[in-house]
């Protein structure tokens, strides 16, 4: 099997192109698929970490791209909706929420050094941590800084 056959075989499982697109969009996304596959092969060839599947590599690239993109601030027109929106339930998969640091056998109310304060050379302890990251943070200042700024 040549390199092109292997590329077509792996791209058939997880392709970006859709059936309903116009011709110029198909060409763009086909080239995008090829570039993504080539970057995957270079990554797997030159990286020293455990080999990833191409689907997990696609997801990692997509998450990195979404982390860099900022959404424009559109003005909302009209009245706000009265009921709950379905978007509010999506945060359970990716949302970061504060929680108390769980008690241990030795300490009933444990405290840890705040990660943001520690980075800024301030010694301060907190009883809160991020539920997903498991990083101790003060509420709400350090929690917001840690999750929104790259250099906090």
For residues 54 and 13, membership in a common domain is answered with yes
pLDDT (0 to 100) of residue 141 = 92
Q: How many domains does the chain have?
A: 2
In a domain, 91, yes or no: no
Examine residue 69 and say whether the peptide bond preceding it is cis (omega within 30 degrees of 0). Answer: no
Who has greater pLDDT, 123 or 1?
123
Q: pLDDT tens-digit profile of 80-137? A: 666 655 555 566 667 888 999 999 999 999 999 999 999 999 999 999 999 888 899 9
For residues 52 and 100, membership in a common domain is answered with no
For residues 63 and 21, membership in a common domain is answered with yes
Cβ–Cβ < 8 Å for 98, 128? yes
pTM greater than the 0.85 cutoff: no
- Token readout for 64 is 């990195």
Q: How far is CA 4 from CA 17, 38, 50, 113, in A?
A: 18, 11, 24, 53
Q: pLDDT tens-digit profile of 15-74? A: 556 666 677 887 888 888 889 888 988 988 888 777 788 888 888 888 888 888 877 777
In a domain, 77, yes or no: no
- What range does the domain containing 114 cover? 96-148
Angstrom distance (rounded) from CA 77 to CA 86: 19
pLDDT (0 to 100) of residue 50 = 78
pLDDT (0 to 100) of residue 122 = 93
Q: What are phi and psi of 128, to 5 degrees?
A: -110, 155
pLDDT (0 to 100) of residue 139 = 92
In a domain, 79, yes or no: no
pLDDT (0 to 100) of residue 135 = 92
Who has greater pLDDT, 60 or 6?
60
pLDDT (0 to 100) of residue 10 = 67
Find residue 125's DSSP bridge partners: 113
Domain boundary among 26, 53, 68: 68
């Amino acid at each position: 099997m040549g390199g092109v056959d292997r590329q077509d075989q792996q791209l058939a499982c997880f392709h970006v192109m859709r059936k309903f697109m116009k011709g110029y969009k198909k060409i763009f996304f086909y080239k995008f698929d090829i570039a993504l596959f080539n970057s995957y092969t270079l990554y797997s060839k030159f990286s020293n970490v455990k080999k990833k599947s191409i689907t997990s590599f696609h997801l990692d690239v997509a998450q990195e791209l979404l982390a860099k993109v900022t959404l424009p601030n559109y003005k909302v027109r009209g009245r706000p909706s009265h009921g709950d929106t379905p978007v509010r339930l999506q945060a359970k998969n990716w949302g970061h929420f504060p929680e108390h640091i769980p008690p241990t056998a030795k300490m009933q109310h444990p405290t840890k050094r705040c990660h943001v304060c520690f980075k800024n050379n301030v010694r301060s302890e907190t009883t809160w941590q991020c539920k997903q990251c498991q990083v101790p943070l003060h509420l709400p200042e350090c929690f917001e800084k840690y999750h929104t700024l790259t250099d906090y």
